[in-house]
Amino acid sequence: MKNDKSKAEMTTGCIRIDVGGKERLFDIDDPVLPDWVDKHKLTCGGYPYDEKMDKDEYEETVERLQIELVKLLAWMQATGERVMVVFEGRDAAGKGGTIDTLRQYMNRRTARNVALTKPTETERGQWYYQRYVAQFPTAGEFVTFDRSWYNRAGVEPVMGFCTPDQHARFLEETPQYEVAIVREGIRFFKFWLDLGQEMQLKRFHDRRHSPLTNWKFSDIDLAGLTKWAEYGTARDQMIETTHTDHAPWIVVRSNDKRRARIEVMRRILKSIPYARRDDAAIGKPDKKIVGMGLGFIRDN
d(CA 35, CA 46): 19
Asked if 93 and 297 touch (Cβ cutoff 8 Å), the reply is no
Q: How far is CA 81 from CA 85, 143, 266, 269, in A?
A: 14, 12, 19, 14
pLDDT of residue 7: 38
Asked if 256 and 49 touch (Cβ cutoff 8 Å), the reply is yes
On the 0-12 / 13-18 / 19+ scale of CB atoms within 10 A, 145 is buried
On the 0-12 / 13-18 / 19+ scale of CB atoms within 10 A, 267 is middle
Would the pLDDT of 216 be above 90?
no
Q: Output the average pLDDT for the chain.
A: 94
Q: What is the mean pLDDT of residues 161-176?
A: 98
Query: Minimal CA–CA distance to 70: which of 110, 108, 106?
Result: 106
Asked if 92 and 200 touch (Cβ cutoff 8 Å), the reply is yes
d(CA 208, CA 201): 10
pLDDT category of residue 12 using cuts at 50, 70 and 90: low
The pLDDT tens digits of the residues spanning 106-161 come to 999 999 999 999 999 999 999 999 999 999 999 999 999 999 999 999 999 999 99
Domains within the chain, CATH numbers bracketed: 13-298 (3.40.50.300)
pLDDT of residue 132: 98
d(CA 87, CA 233): 19
Would the pLDDT of 203 be above 50?
yes
d(CA 251, CA 164): 26
pLDDT category of residue 300 using cuts at 50, 70 and 90: low
**Residue 215: strand, helix, or coil:** helix
The pLDDT tens digits of the residues spanning 15-61 come to 899 998 999 999 999 999 999 999 999 999 999 999 999 999 999 99
pLDDT of residue 6: 36
- The CA-to-CA distance between both ends of the chain, in Å, stands at 52
What DSSP designation does 89 have? E
d(CA 78, CA 58): 30
The pLDDT tens digits of the residues spanning 246-272 come to 999 999 999 999 999 999 999 999 999
pLDDT of residue 1: 36
